[in-house]
Amino acid sequence: MSAISIDLVRKTAELSAEVTCPLPGSRKIYVTGSRPDLRVPMREVIQSPTQTHAGPEENPPIPIYDTSGPYTDPSAHIDLTRGLPEVRSAWIEERGDSEMLPGYSSAFARQRAEAPTLSWLRFPHPRRPRRAKPGCAVTQMYYARQGMITPEMEYVAIRENLRLDALRADPRYQRLLRQHPGQAFGAALPQTITPEFVRQEVARGRAIIPANINHPELEPMIIGRNFRVKINTNIGNSALSSSIAEEVEKMVWSARWGGDTLMDLSTGQHIHETREWILRNAPMPIGTVPLYQALEKVEGRPEELTWEIVRDTLIEQAEQGVDYFTLHAGVLLRYIPLTAERLTGIVSRGGSIMAKWCLAHHEENFLYTHFAEICEILRAYDVAISLGDGLRPGSIADANDAAQFAELKTLGELTKIAWAQDVQVMIEGPGHVPLQLIQANMDKELAECFEAPFYTLGPIVTDIAPGYDHLSSAIGATLIGWKGTAMLCYVTPKEHLGLPTKEDVREGIIAYRLSAHAADLAKGLPGAQLRDNALSKARFEFRWEDQFNLGLDPERARDFHDQSLPHAAHKLAHFCSMCGPQFCSMKITQDVRDLAARQEETAIAEGMRAKAREFRATGSNLYRSI
Amino acid sequence: MSAISIDLVRKTAELSAEVTCPLPGSRKIYVTGSRPDLRVPMREVIQSPTQTHAGPEENPPIPIYDTSGPYTDPSAHIDLTRGLPEVRSAWIEERGDSEMLPGYSSAFARQRAEAPTLSWLRFPHPRRPRRAKPGCAVTQMYYARQGMITPEMEYVAIRENLRLDALRADPRYQRLLRQHPGQAFGAALPQTITPEFVRQEVARGRAIIPANINHPELEPMIIGRNFRVKINTNIGNSALSSSIAEEVEKMVWSARWGGDTLMDLSTGQHIHETREWILRNAPMPIGTVPLYQALEKVEGRPEELTWEIVRDTLIEQAEQGVDYFTLHAGVLLRYIPLTAERLTGIVSRGGSIMAKWCLAHHEENFLYTHFAEICEILRAYDVAISLGDGLRPGSIADANDAAQFAELKTLGELTKIAWAQDVQVMIEGPGHVPLQLIQANMDKELAECFEAPFYTLGPIVTDIAPGYDHLSSAIGATLIGWKGTAMLCYVTPKEHLGLPTKEDVREGIIAYRLSAHAADLAKGLPGAQLRDNALSKARFEFRWEDQFNLGLDPERARDFHDQSLPHAAHKLAHFCSMCGPQFCSMKITQDVRDLAARQEETAIAEGMRAKAREFRATGSNLYRSI
């Protein structure tokens, strides 16, 4: 593994080859929308033909939702010191409702920008901040409610569809598009996602498009129960480790494996500068917990936090381009005693910061009392709000308790306040919940938060598996995703134990991509089964390369195969290492299929008898030369 | 990793230290039943005390279901060339309904026993085979129906309870025994498992105790929907790899991590001798697919299989002590054409062997036509039958199709035939099933197979994750286990790709232990939440060692922790690497709890105000010295 290097003195930066090399067997394609600058990236997996008696039979390319950004486009020129191309700038400017500011509105941001001691690590080509003109709202929700279909909305419609309409009209895909009926638990998944459908869902708050006007590099995506289930990943240096270079590399790594959004949870030094490097190079929405940085500004003492410090932090981050903020505004003073009898108290960092502040001052949570003011800030940049579940359970024992559900109800009240200001909202959920209590979480969220997108951390379904909590939580995530959760926050194998390595991040992302896809399949998302069908057909036909390439992690699939059968010839073999060359169950089906194809429907018995004779007569070796 | 060695010439054998070293923080205990030779092994995790202001507070030991056999008992003398102690011999002899045979009844077994060329690899101290006296049935089902509670039944009752009655009476466990109500989907889980309850469940076929009279080394266990969900693991050399020594080591390894039963799926040379080594050293029930060996006897040509060859194989294996046979007796001739239009045809090896035989002969499956005769053999040794799902789907696309469900109905018919002869039965299930189709599998199995224990392979819930199918299948397994499946057959990360290594086996077992436990929790199995609660309390109190030791994989948990915080002192630290020493969310709850404890219930508001003053006055550092 070659390390990334950002030479901060010479202002050059390079990503390691392992995060930028193209995905095997894939090509990047772009689907153009109603205007030439609206180009939606997708990945296509190219398949090899099936060898039949009648000659090769084509297997068509399979389109795959692509979160990896320009990094996997061989024709893209990546320069981390310049940042990604600003795909949205023209759209934002055209709307004419925002303006470039002469400088940062945040006192802290100005101070950091001017400090000469920081110049060595500052992003070298900063953007000038943009803000709504006085009196204007620049949120996607505002536009949607005005009946306006923005380029962002059209973009996500194209992105969600993955060319499904074209595939439906193409005979090569007919069989592969067969799909089981889903069970959607009240979700309403259209056969085709239109830009108008996106607009409607955003207007009623059932979906959000996190897209800060200061993050024009963003490839827009949507979060809502009537769209593909999304996954969030986290990065962040704790006080104990990490550097800016590592964080940028992790962001690209996360995009590569399928992170739809990314939260920067850094708590160490240089949060501001790290965030700038990340945002300028991030193709996905970036979320933060502004309290973490605010806490740094008061040297880690929650009781010294003030609304003014937090307010300046919100503006600082909004002008950098953060797309959504997690704010623990529902941790009310009167809920805190409800946690006293818990087995594991308050485990959310943001929740415990606010709880500590409330206790120290015996005052109501200032994020709650200033919530309308917060929304005014957010609507001027289109920062979505992710209402944090500061009182989420930290153990199976504490699941679904009074504290948790009291806070959830408050998050519903706050949702209405935010929506009144056209601010996009999602609702954070637990955490640690045994299977039989998951449904109640979803039901309550939908009812009390009016179908605002639910965004859950797992949940972990048992506490007894430290070291395997990516798995324990993927089980809960799959179930709650099926029931209607819009985005799943990933968990790595290191959860509860330590900081994830890159391999842990990959493991966590793949677990959650798998969960999200299983949920899509179960809901009956149109086209969701295509990739399963294509991969299964490749598997059945011993097209090993296609099987690897269609999988979530082609590199690992190939590596695992090669551990048993390392030779290149084995990837053409009509057997696998599990059964060896003498016998393989999949081959027999060829015989069955050949037989059935030739049978007269009215003479099945006779045909089978004849076939039996022929079968024995020919000696019927299971293996044909290829 | 030091390798195992069985020196087959000198007939010595050693296991590697990594499979026999005691589990950290644990001690082996034995609970004695109604007779002195009925000693049920359990593991207890010893916890350290909680440090409080008032001094140390005891945390009681936590009992854990123990599948590891004598290998983890430091006082046990292990000699692989002699095999494990015969814990059941006296029980079997006392019943007086079976007799020692002068030699093997199977022609093949005699031939192998006499072949001088095999003496170098033969198990050196073979048992003489035992069989029911003429006209007698020796199955646990027979005894149960006669109203007899066998030592095996009492053993599993004690084993399932894990001392729960004693714990309920012990004040130290009161808080830890709190548990959420379950959702059991028709399962009837008693508060305490009595031997009589076990008898009733076995008598009506809703549970089985696989316990061949030729496997006296077995520690009895039970499989049924009203008991703990169990997991099966597989080992087996394919033609491409593995040796006897490796297989024995894998068996012990599987026991160590939590495999409840083990299937020996070997297909290479020396199947017979390998099985003998495994059985004589196996504390868990061993299952096989006798067809695999029968196929070896006809050099891999399914069409040359005969009933006589299979019959001799059944007897051969029954007299070695195999506890359950998977037999694909439901693959009927008329069902085979139903698979022709499948995306992935027939993927079960046993299923495709029988399909090929049926096609070649155009005759009905001889396992079906000879089923009553098979049951006569099984009842003479108490071999349970696991009715194989030869037509299970091999892809999401093929789930719940006509072929699958036609076979399931036939398995129900066969269940009745087996029960008429007092033969214990379980039913194998899929495979590959998307989430929304899982419930139908369980419903049909319960209805059509009369609640005979369901034993499923996963199911995998999406096909797009080669390299992560342990995880994809653990999701389906958890869900179907919750719905009522009695045993889950594990899947390793190498599924579909290659042969699992020891680490893959561990990964697969832990994934499935996690699934089985999550299902138990969700069903509301009495006492199931104890371990979660204890671990969560340890986590909350920063008792790192206890947290590791209570987990499913203490070694990995410790290793993951140490990667971030390697120093021994950090295991006493009141912080973790995720947040670093400056802030930790769990600490704040101490403050909340202290506050709540001191508040007058009628003066909460006043108390909080007072506390707020005190809190600020003392400076309230989150960290106290320990």
| Statement: residue B509 has pLDDT above 90 | yes
Query: Given A396, A467, A612, which is nearest B361 (Cβ)?
Result: A612
The nearest CA of chain B is from the CA of A430 a distance in Å of 15
How much is the pLDDT for B121? 86
Cα–Cα distance for residue pair A431/A405, rounded to 1 Å: 13
Q: What is the mean pLDDT of residues A581-610?
A: 56
Same-domain status, B314 and B409: yes
Do B589 and A556 lie within an 8 Å CB cutoff? no
What amino acid is encoded at B320 in this protein? Q
Same-domain status, B584 and B518: no
How much is the pLDDT for A393? 97
Q: How does pLDDT run across B418-427, given as a tens digit for each residue?
A: 999 999 999 9
Do B514 and A581 lie within an 8 Å CB cutoff? no
Residues in B touching A390 (Cβ below 8 Å): none
Q: At A268, is the pLDDT very low, low, confident or very high (cuts 50, 70, 90)?
A: confident
> And the tokens for B321?
């002590």
The nearest CA of chain B is from the CA of A610 a distance in Å of 9
Phi, psi of A603 (to 5 degrees): -135, 45
3-state helix, strand, coil in chain B (%, to 5): 45, 10, 40
What is the chain A residue with the closest CA to B397? A533
Touching A: B residues 335-374, CB under 8 Å: 336-337, 339-349, 351-353, 355-356, 359-362
How much is the pLDDT for B619? 52
Cα–Cα distance for residue pair A151/A92, rounded to 1 Å: 9
| Statement: residue B154 has pLDDT above 60 | yes
Same-domain status, B406 and B491: yes
Q: Is the C-alpha dihedral spanning A380, A383, A387, A388 positive or negative?
A: negative
Of A529, A548, A566, the residue at which a domain comes to its end is: A529
Between the two ends of chain A, the Cα-to-Cα distance in Å is 38
Same-domain status, A586 and A458: no
B136 assigned to a ligand binding site: no
In a domain, A473, yes or no: yes
What is the chain B residue with the closest CA to A400? B180
Do A518 and B585 lie within an 8 Å CB cutoff? no
More confident residue, B5 or B516: B516
Which residues sit opposite B64 in a β-bridge?
A: B43
Phi, psi of A386 (to 5 degrees): -110, 105
Do A344 and B533 lie within an 8 Å CB cutoff? no
Q: How does pLDDT run across A3-22, given as a tens digit for each residue?
A: 345 555 445 567 888 888 88
- Domain holding A368, by residue range, is 195-529
Same-domain status, A285 and A356: yes
Size of interface A-B (CB pairs under 8 A): 465
Which helix (H) or strand (E) covers residue B425, if one does?
strand B425-429
In a domain, A218, yes or no: yes
Cα–Cα distance for residue pair B170/B172, rounded to 1 Å: 5
What amino acid is encoded at B605 in this protein? A
Which helix (H) or strand (E) covers residue B605, if one does?
helix B604-617
Do A466 and B535 lie within an 8 Å CB cutoff? yes
Q: Any idea what DSSP says for residue A451?
A: T
Q: How far is CA A162 from CA A60, A214, A417, in A?
A: 14, 27, 35
Q: At A474, is the pLDDT very low, low, confident or very high (cuts 50, 70, 90)?
A: very high
Cα–Cα distance for residue pair A275/A272, rounded to 1 Å: 5
Same-domain status, B608 and B466: no
| Statement: residue B581 has pLDDT above 80 | no
Same-domain status, B483 and B392: yes
Do A339 and B592 lie within an 8 Å CB cutoff? yes
Same-domain status, B240 and B371: yes
Query: How many structural domains does chain A have?
Result: 2
How much is the pLDDT for A240? 45
| Cis amide prior to B481 (ω within 30 degrees) | no
Residues in A touching B580 (Cβ below 8 Å): 238-240, 267
Residues in B touching A599 (Cβ below 8 Å): 337
Which residues sit opposite B234 in a β-bridge?
A: B263
Q: Is B468 on the interface with A (CB under 8 A)?
A: yes
A135-139, A541-545, B101-105: the lowest-pLDDT one: A541-545
B50-54, B348-352, B428-432: the lowest-pLDDT one: B50-54
> And the tokens for A206?
């059932």
Q: How does pLDDT run across A414-436, given as a tens digit for each residue?
A: 999 999 999 999 999 999 999 99
Q: At B618, is the pLDDT very low, low, confident or very high (cuts 50, 70, 90)?
A: low
How much is the pLDDT for B607? 53
Q: How does pLDDT run across A334-351, given as a tens digit for each residue?
A: 999 999 889 999 999 999
Of A473, A498, A529, the residue at which a domain comes to its end is: A529
In a domain, B8, yes or no: no
Cα–Cα distance for residue pair B329/B346, rounded to 1 Å: 15
Q: How does pLDDT run across B156-199, given as a tens digit for each residue?
A: 999 999 999 999 999 999 999 999 999 999 999 999 999 999 99
Q: Is A178 on the interface with B (CB under 8 A)?
A: yes
Cα–Cα distance for residue pair A151/A91, rounded to 1 Å: 7
How much is the pLDDT for A566? 66
Q: What is the mean pLDDT of residues B84-93?
A: 97
Same-domain status, A210 and A264: yes
Q: At A38, is the pLDDT very low, low, confident or very high (cuts 50, 70, 90)?
A: very high
Residues in B touching A471 (Cβ below 8 Å): 471, 474, 511, 514
In a domain, A568, yes or no: no
Same-domain status, B581 and B447: no
Q: How far is CA A470 from CA A458, A473, A507, in A?
A: 8, 5, 8
Q: Any idea what DSSP says for residue B40?
A: E
Q: At B321, is the pLDDT very low, low, confident or very high (cuts 50, 70, 90)?
A: very high
Q: At A269, is the pLDDT very low, low, confident or very high (cuts 50, 70, 90)?
A: confident
Of A529, A549, A566, the residue at which a domain comes to its end is: A529
| Statement: residue A595 has pLDDT above 80 | no
| Cis amide prior to B85 (ω within 30 degrees) | no
Same-domain status, A465 and A581: no
Q: At A624, is the pLDDT very low, low, confident or very high (cuts 50, 70, 90)?
A: very low
Cα–Cα distance for residue pair B602/B280, rounded to 1 Å: 68
In a domain, B200, yes or no: yes
Q: At A600, is the pLDDT very low, low, confident or very high (cuts 50, 70, 90)?
A: very low
Same-domain status, A458 and A369: yes
In a domain, B553, yes or no: no
Q: What is the mean pLDDT of residues A156-180?
A: 98
Do A465 and B551 lie within an 8 Å CB cutoff? yes
Q: How does pLDDT run across B218-272, given as a tens digit for each residue?
A: 999 999 999 999 999 998 765 444 577 788 888 999 999 999 999 999 877 789 9
In a domain, A551, yes or no: no
Cα–Cα distance for residue pair A477/A481, rounded to 1 Å: 6
Query: What ipTM, to 2 d.p.?
Result: 0.92
In a domain, B252, yes or no: yes
Q: What is the CATH number of the domain that holds A339?
A: 3.20.20.540
Phi, psi of B184 (to 5 degrees): -105, -5
Do B497 and A465 lie within an 8 Å CB cutoff? no
What's the pTM value of the predicted model, to 2 decimals? 0.93
Residues in A touching B563 (Cβ below 8 Å): 494, 498, 501
